[in-house]
Amino acid sequence: MSDASPSRVEVLLTRLDPEVPVPAYARPGDAGADLVTTSDLVLPPGERAVVGTGVAIALPMGYAAFVHPRSGLAARVGLSVVNTPGTIDAGYRGEIKICLVNHDPREPVVLRRGDRIAQLVVQRVERACFLEVAELPDSQRGAGGYGSTGGHAVLGPAAEADGGATEG
Ligand SMILES: O=c1ccn([C@H]2C[C@H](O)[C@@H](COP(=O)(O)OP(=O)(O)OP(=O)(O)O)O2)c(=O)[nH]1
Ligand SMILES: [Mg+2]
């Protein structure tokens, strides 16, 4: 799909730090454009820190951007985003900041200025109009939540013994 495709949305961007790259999609079809940290950082096990990305954006109304962790860093060193996904509102004009956390129980995460630490996913969002009613319409799920369909793996010795039937 070319950059001129109508499915691409134009997002205005300013670089507050002129040295950072404009966020870019690493491969065609990628959902997230990578964001970098503007500071060097050593994050001890279990600790968090807010870092700058050096960019600010103006999303069109009806859109939001979401700051997601990068899977590779999460799996390799335990780096994630505390409030994942962070929500960037269409009206926000400040620097996009990222609240990083080191989930590794033993090793610090060492980051250098310019490292790609998270990814920004731009999405259309609906704005709801909340209509208060006395009673909600029935549904199959009803009020069943928090594991009401069964919270455990359906595979394994027990599942094999009962022919793989699901719980619930
Ligand atoms: O990972 C994030 C999340 C948020 N923001 C910025 C953009 C967003 O529009 C604003 C507010 O975010 P949010 O609504 O999640 O935070 P809040 O604690 O509810 O703050 P506010 O009272 O300003 O809405 O902070 C970031 O830079 N990075
Ligand atoms: Mg808010």
- For 18-44, the pLDDT digits (tens) are 999 999 999 999 999 999 999 999 999
Three-class SS of 32-93:
EEEEECCCCEEECCCCEEEEECCEEEECCCCEEEEEEECHHHHHHHCEEECCCCEEECCCCC
79, 100 contact by CB (below 8 A): yes
Ligand 2 centroid vs 87 CA: distance in angstroms?
Answer: 8
Ligand 1, atom 10, lies closest to the CA of 88
Query: What is the model's pTM?
Result: 0.89
Read off the DSSP letter of residue 146.
S
In contact, 108 and 45? CB cutoff 8 Å: yes
Tell the residue nearest (CA) to atom 14 of ligand 1. 87
pLDDT over threshold 60, residue 123: yes
Q: For residue 37, report the distance from its CA to the centre of ligand 2, in Å.
A: 23
Is there an atom of ligand 1 within 6 Å of 118 CB? no
User: Which atom of ligand 1 has the smallest separation from the CA of 98?
Assistant: 1
Q: Which pLDDT score is estimated for 154?
A: 78
Q: Homologous superfamily of 12-124 in CATH?
A: Deoxyuridine triphosphatase (dUTPase) (2.70.40.10)
- 71 labelled binding-site residue: yes
Whether 38 has a binding-site annotation, put simply, is no
Which atom of ligand 1 lies nearest, measured to the CA of 87?
3
**Is there a cis peptide before residue 85, judged by omega within 30 degrees of 0?**
yes
Confidence grade of residue 167 (pLDDT, cut at 50, 70, 90): very low
Sheet holding 116-124, edge to edge: 24-25, 32-36, 116-124, 63-69, 86-88
